[in-house]
């Protein structure tokens, strides 16, 4: 099936369109957002040249389920999912930070640790740790939200001092982040997975903090298989994982880390199919449900029809 990498819809009462790394976001009157999760894939803050069929459906459907499973912790932006690749929700004023929470020393944290650093975003990482080891307690390592280019690590103290988020709001964001991570950890454990790290985005609507965007998807999170984790850790072996890290590792092996002058390795049909299969695998593990590939000869037309049908119910 052909990947959906771009959309260009024009809905009644549409105000604007924003194109992110992965999502096309349509802003409509009445504080409505229509978010189309495309099959674009990004790594190292660069959109890769080939789309990944069904990736958008995987991300959208996992996020929708987890928004429902965490709605008792705090309100979220979701109203409905009229299409497998679409979520419609309320428009919020986003906080200009992403709340990254890490339960294990992996990915970016490990690369910093290996380089000799023992603090990350003001959080201390204990001496003597090895890659993929569990932290004594999860650490929160926020980043700035860059409109373009790379997000940057930043500490709680810097966020508050620079007035990016008020002290009161930031402490509430921290509390929500820990509660959401605990819930995600419990759900993953029940499916034989370890939620290693993830990120959350929040906004405000009518003075209330709202959970936005996607949560606990393979784009925003890293998962290990619980079975064999301790044995692999003890032997210093790589963990069996379900996340986008395998894409980053493939890129790094091909000499690409998003730096100027570097070229993305060739994304052959075999590479693309392999990435699709990994996304489907994560969906089935984290939800415990078989993935129903929403195959269609014209996916863009299907998406547009479903959104317009939903908008008519709002009239």
> For residue range 85-117, what is the model confidence (pLDDT) as tens digits?
999 999 999 999 999 999 999 999 999 999 999
Determine the pLDDT at residue 31: 94
If phi over 0 gives left and psi between -120 and 50 gives alpha, with beta otherwise, what is residue 186?
A: alpha
- Give the pLDDT confidence of 126-166 residue by residue, as tens digits: 999 999 999 999 999 999 986 655 679 999 999 999 999 99
Does residue 156 sit within a domain?
no
Q: Is the per-residue pLDDT at 214 higher than 70?
A: yes
SS3 content of the chain, % helix, strand, coil (to 5): 35, 25, 40
| CA gap 122, 81 in Å, rounded | 38
Q: Is the per-residue pLDDT at 271 higher than 90?
A: yes
Does residue 100 sit within a domain?
no
In three-state form (DSSP H/G/I as H, E/B as E, the rest C), the secondary structure along 251-313 is: HHHCCCCCCCCCCCCCCCHHHHHHHHHHHHHHHHHHHCCCCCCCCCCCHHHHHHHHHHHHHHH
Does residue 288 sit within a domain?
yes
| CA gap 165, 49 in Å, rounded | 35
Does residue 143 sit within a domain?
no
Q: Is 132:105 a contact under the CB 8 Å cutoff?
A: yes
In three-state form (DSSP H/G/I as H, E/B as E, the rest C), the secondary structure along 153-220 is: ECCHHHHHHCCCCCHHHHHHHHHHHHHHHHHHHHHHHHCCEEEEEEEEEEEEECCEEEEECCCCCCCC
| CA gap 58, 3 in Å, rounded | 13
| CA gap 220, 198 in Å, rounded | 5
Determine the pLDDT at residue 294: 94
Q: Is the per-residue pLDDT at 3 higher than 80?
A: yes
| CA gap 293, 277 in Å, rounded | 11
Determine the pLDDT at residue 151: 77
The strand pairing partners of 171, in sequence order, are none
pLDDT band at 23 (very low <50, low <70, confident <90, very high): very high
Output the pTM of the full model. Answer: 0.89
Does residue 149 sit within a domain?
no
Q: Is the per-residue pLDDT at 246 higher than 90?
A: no
Expressed as residue numbers, the domain containing 74 is 1-94+165-315
Does residue 282 sit within a domain?
yes
pLDDT band at 76 (very low <50, low <70, confident <90, very high): very high
CB-count exposure of residue 297 (10 Å: 0-12, 13-18, 19+)? exposed
Does residue 267 sit within a domain?
yes
CA quadruple 209, 215, 219, 220: dihedral sign = positive
State the average pLDDT over residues 285-300.
Answer: 93
Bridge-based pairing state of the strands 78-83 and 86-90: antiparallel
Q: Is the per-residue pLDDT at 245 higher than 60?
A: yes
Does residue 41 sit within a domain?
yes
Determine the pLDDT at residue 244: 81
Q: Is 135:125 a contact under the CB 8 Å cutoff?
A: yes
> Structurally, how many domains does the chain consist of?
1
Q: Is the per-residue pLDDT at 179 higher than 90?
A: yes
| CATH number of domain containing 309 | 3.30.200.20
């Amino acid at each position: 099936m052909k990947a959906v990498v771009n959309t260009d819809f024009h809905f009644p009462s549409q105000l604007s369109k924003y194109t992110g790394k992965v999502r096309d976001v349509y802003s409509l009157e009445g504080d409505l957002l229509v978010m189309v999760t495309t099959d674009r894939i990004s790594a190292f803050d660069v959109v890769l040249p080939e789309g990944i069929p069904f990736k958008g459906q995987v991300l959208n459907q996992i996020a929708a389920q987890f928004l429902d499973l965490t709605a008792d912790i705090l309100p979220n932006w979701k109203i409905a999912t009229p299409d497998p690749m679409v979520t419609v929700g309320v428009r919020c004023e986003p906080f200009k930070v992403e709340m990254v929470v890490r339960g294990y020393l992996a990915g970016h944290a490990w690369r910093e640790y290996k380089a000799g650093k023992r603090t990350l975003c003001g959080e201390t990482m204990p001496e003597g740790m090895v890659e993929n080891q569990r932290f004594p307690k999860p650490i929160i390592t926020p980043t700035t939200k860059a409109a373009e280019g790379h997000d940057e690590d930043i500490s709680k103290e810097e966020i508050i001092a620079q007035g990016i988020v008020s002290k009161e709001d930031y402490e509430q964001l921290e509390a929500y982040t820990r509660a959401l991570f605990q819930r995600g950890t419990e759900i993953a454990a029940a499916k034989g997975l370890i939620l290693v790290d993830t990120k959350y985005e929040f906004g405000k609507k009518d003075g209330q903090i709202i959970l936005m965007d996607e949560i606990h998807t393979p784009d925003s999170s890293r998962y290990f298989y619980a079975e064999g984790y301790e044995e692999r850790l003890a032997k210093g072996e790589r963990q069996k994982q379900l996340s986008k890290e395998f894409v980053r590792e493939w890129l790094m092996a091909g000499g690409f880390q998003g730096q100027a002058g570097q070229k993305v390795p060739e994304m052959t049909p075999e590479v693309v199919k392999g990435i699709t299969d990994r996304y489907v695998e994560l969906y089935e593990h984290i939800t415990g449900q078989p993935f129903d590939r929403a195959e269609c000869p014209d996916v863009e037309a299907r998406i547009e029809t479903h959104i317009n049908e939903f908008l008519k119910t709002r009239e």
